[in-house]
Amino acid sequence: MRAAFVETLAELAERDPRVVLLTGDLGFNMLEPLAERFPDRFVNVGVAEQNMVGVATGLAEAGMIPFVYSIATFATMRPYEFIRNGPVLHQLPVRIVGVGGGFEYGNNGATHYGLEDIGILRLQRGLTVVVPADDSHARAAFTQTYALPRPVYYRLSKGGPAIPGPATDFVLGKLTRLRAGRDLALVALGPTATDALAAADLLGAEGIDAAVAVVESFNPSPGDDLADFLADVPFAVSIESHFVDGGLGSFVAEVIAERGLPTRLRRCGLDDLPRGITGSVPFLKEWFGLSPRAIAGTGASLLAFARR
Amino acid sequence: MTPLPLGRRIRLHILEQSHRARFGHIGSALSIADIVAVLFDGVLRGAGADRERFILSKGHAVLALYAALYETGRIDRRTLDSYCTDGTPLGAHPEHVLGPIDFSTGSLGHGLSYGAGSALAARMLGSARRTFVLISDAELNEGTVWEAAMFAAHHRLGSLVAIVDVNGQQALGPTKQVLDLEPLVPRWEAFGWTAREVDGHDVAALRTALDSIDGTSARPHVLLARTTAGSGVSFMEDRVEWRYLPLSDEQYASAAAEVTRPEAR
C-alpha cells in the first residue's frame, strides 16, 4: 500500500503543483522516486513530527496541499495538538499519512504500534479519516480525497493482499459490502476485511451464515449504510487492528445505540497496550484475537451465548 | 494637540478593553505594544496572497493585536468593543476567522512552525513576502520552538523573522527562576540564526532593526526584544500579577492617565 501511495502521489504531484511531501525522516527505499522527481516539493523535515505538521499548516495556509509522512503512531500521537490546532482548527488541506497502523511493526513493539490513531483522529469531526482496505482502494481513496478542502488522515498498511472476491472500490463515507449473510455481521476496519472474509468462510463451515462489510472512512462515516447492513442481522462483531475503544468498535456501538437497533455487538481488537509481547503479524493477530480463526470463534461464541 | 504615538494608543485600548471586559493578560499585551505598533506602521507589506504574514504565537497578548488592527483600520470600533463579549470572535486568543488574522494561536510553541511553513511556501511560490512570528521568552521553554528553529536554519529561510518578547516574566515567576534560557543571542546563533538584541520599547530602534532585515539572506532572523511586562504603566511594570488581574476603576483611571500623559514614553 505504501507503493500505491508513492505512485499515486507522483501522479498527483505531476498534475497539481500544490502537492508537497514532507517526511519525518522515514520512507527508506520508498520515497526516493518522489524526492528525485520533485526535489523542490520534497522535504525531509527530520525527526520532528510536531514541527512537520506545523510547517504543513503554514504551507497549506499559503495554498499548498502538503502530505506529511511517518509511522502511524508517530504521525498522529506526537503531533496531535498540532493537528488539532493547525489543519483541523484552520480547516486546511493537510494530509497526514501514517504507515503501519495497528501492530504491523510486529517485533518493534508497543512504541511502534498505532492503536489509538483512528480513535483520536475520529474525535476531530473536521478531519476525514481514511483506512483503505487494499492497494486498489488506496489508489481510489487518494484520488477521491487529495483535494478535499479539509485535513485527511490516511492509515496505510505496509503491504497486504487484495480483498478477495468481486472487484469493489473505495467510496468516501460509504460502507462496502463484501458478502451477504443472515446470522451474523462482521464489520471490518480497512485491511482486516481479508481476515473477516476468511472468518466468514470458517463460520460457514459451521453452519453460521456471516455477512461481511468493510468501513474505510470516518468523517464522513457510513452510519446510514451500517444501520442498513445491521438491520436484518441479530449479531455483529467489529474487527479492527486498534483498541476496541474509540475506533470502529465504538462507531458500530454508537450506530446501534443511537438508532435503537436490536443488534448484539462484540468488539474484536486490543483492550490495552501490549507489554512484553512482540512478534510477527500472524502471531500477533492470533494473540490479540484478530486471526480468522479467532474472529470466527468470537462470532460463534456470541451466537452460542445469546442462544443459551 | 499632537496625537499620541501608535504604541501609546495601543496601550490605551489594551487598558480600556481589559478594564471593560474585566479580563487579564494586560502585562503581556503592554509588553508587545511597541513591537506591534512598528510592525503595523509600515513594516508589514503587501495585500492578498502576497501579504506578509504576521503570527502572534504568544496569543494571550492578542489585545495589542486587536488594538493595532483597529488603529490601522483593519477592524471597526464595534468589533474592537466586542472583545471578550458573548459570541464574539475577539476572544482572549486570536482566531483566524477574524479576517486580518491568518493564524489562530493560544497554545504556546506552534507559531514558529507555522511561520517556517509559511516562509517555505513563499519560496516555493516565488514570493518575496516575509513572515513575522512574535513569540514570548517563556514560549522558548517549548521544544517545538527549537524544532522549528533548526528547520528554518537548515532550509535557509531568510524571509522568516522571529521576534522574541523578552520581558523576563512567565506565569509563575521570572524566567530566570523558572527555566533560564540566557544567553539568548549565542543560543539562537548556535541554531543558525542571525540574532540581535533590541530595546523592545524603542520604536526607532525597532524600526531600524526590522527595516534592515534582508529577506533574501541565507539565515532566518531573530530579534531579541528586551521589554518590560506591563510597560508604560508604572504600577504594573515587571509585576507578575498583572498577567492575571483585571483593573479596578481607580487603577484604570491611573493607568490610562499615565499612558496618555504627554511626557510618557
Q: Report pLDDT digits (tens) over A289-304.
A: 999 999 999 999 999 9
Calculate the average pLDDT of chain B.
95
pLDDT at B236: 93
| Contact flag B151-A48 (C-beta cutoff 8 Å) | yes
A282 CB-contact burial (10 Å; exposed 0-12 / middle 13-18 / buried 19+): exposed
A9 versus A308: the higher-pLDDT residue is: A9
Q: Which residue in this structure is represented by grid cell 504604541?
A: B7
> Alpha helices of chain A — where are they, by DSSP H?
2-15, 32-37, 49-61, 72-76, 80-83, 89-90, 117-122, 135-145, 193-205, 223-231, 248-258, 281-287, 292-307
> Is any Cβ of chain A less than 8 angstroms from the Cβ of B49?
yes
Strand pairing partners for A23? A44, A69
Strand pairing partners for A213? A177, A187
Q: Does some domain include residue B43?
A: yes
> Is any Cβ of chain B less than 8 angstroms from the Cβ of A55?
yes
Test mutation, A25, A55, A70, A83, chain B, max B CBs within 10 A: A55
**CA B254 – CA A80 distance, rounded (Å):** 45
Test mutation, B54, B102, B113, chain A, max A CBs within 10 A: B113
pLDDT at B112: 98
**Virtual CA dihedral for A181, A182, A183, A187, nearest 10 degrees?**
50
Per-residue pLDDT tens over the stretch A238-273: 999 999 999 999 999 999 999 999 999 999 999 999
Reported ipTM: the value is 0.96
**H or E stretch including A96?**
strand A95-99
Smallest CA–CA distance from A82 into chain B, residue: B110
Mean pLDDT of A76-89: 98
The yes-or-no verdict on residue A307 having pLDDT over 80 is: no
Among the partner residues A51, A62, A86, nearest to B125 by beta-carbon distance: A62
Mean pLDDT of A47-76: 98
| Contact flag A51-B151 (C-beta cutoff 8 Å) | yes
Per-residue pLDDT tens over the stretch B210-251: 999 989 999 999 999 999 999 999 999 988 888 888 899 999
| Contact flag A58-B121 (C-beta cutoff 8 Å) | yes
Q: Structural domains in chain A?
A: 2-156 (3.40.50.970), 175-307 (3.40.50.920)
For A200, the grid coordinates are 466468514
- B93 contacts in chain A (CB < 8 Å): none
Q: Does some domain include residue B37?
A: yes
Q: Does some domain include residue B251?
A: yes
DSSP A81: H
pTM: 0.97
Per-residue pLDDT tens over the stretch B92-102: 999 999 999 99
Structural domain of residue B220, as residue ranges? 6-260
Per-residue pLDDT tens over the stretch B105-130: 999 999 999 999 999 999 999 999 99
pLDDT at A104: 97
Q: Does some domain include residue B1?
A: no
The values of phi and psi at residue A196, to 5°, are -65, -40
pLDDT at A160: 85
pLDDT at B23: 87
Calculate the average pLDDT of chain A.
96
The yes-or-no verdict on residue B2 having pLDDT over 80 is: no
Per-residue pLDDT tens over the stretch A124-172: 999 999 999 999 999 999 999 999 999 999 999 988 899 988 788 999 9
B15 CB-contact burial (10 Å; exposed 0-12 / middle 13-18 / buried 19+): buried
The strand pair at A128-130 and A152-156 is best described as parallel
For A41, the grid coordinates are 516539493
CA distances from A274 to A242, A270, A271, A278, A292 (A): 12, 8, 9, 8, 20
pLDDT at B265: 46
Q: Does some domain include residue B60?
A: yes
The closest of B134, B185, B191 to B157, measured between CA atoms, is B191
- Count the alpha carbons within 13 Å of A135 in the hemisphere toward its beta carbon: 13
What CATH number corresponds to the domain at position B131?
A: 3.40.50.970
Q: Does some domain include residue B175?
A: yes
**Contact status, residue B108 vs residue B60, Cβ threshold 8 Å:** no
**Contact status, residue A242 vs residue A102, Cβ threshold 8 Å:** yes
A225 versus A27: the higher-pLDDT residue is: A225
Cis? peptide before B94, omega within 30° of 0:
no
The yes-or-no verdict on residue B42 having pLDDT over 80 is: yes
Q: Does some domain include residue B75?
A: yes
Which residues, at least 6 apart from A196, have a Cβ–Cβ distance to it below 8 Å?
A178, A186, A187, A188, A212, A214, A239, A292, A295
Per-residue pLDDT tens over the stretch B45-65: 999 999 999 999 999 999 999
Q: Does some domain include residue B265?
A: no
Number of domains in chain B: 1
Strands (DSSP E) along B44-201, which ranges?
53-56, 131-136, 160-166, 169-170, 173-174, 194-199
| Contact flag B121-A81 (C-beta cutoff 8 Å) | no
Per-residue pLDDT tens over the stretch B138-195: 999 999 999 999 999 999 999 999 999 999 999 999 999 999 999 999 999 999 999 9
Cis? peptide before B183, omega within 30° of 0:
yes
Type of residue found at A238: S
| Contact flag A58-B104 (C-beta cutoff 8 Å) | no
For B163, the grid coordinates are 521576534
pLDDT-based confidence at A308, cuts 50/70/90?
low
Which residues, at least 6 apart from A296, have a Cβ–Cβ distance to it below 8 Å?
A199, A200, A202, A203, A206
**Virtual CA dihedral for A222, A228, A233, A238, nearest 10 degrees?**
0
pLDDT-based confidence at A232, cuts 50/70/90?
confident
Among the partner residues A48, A64, A89, nearest to B104 by beta-carbon distance: A89
pLDDT at A193: 97
Residues above pLDDT 70, as percent of chain B: 98
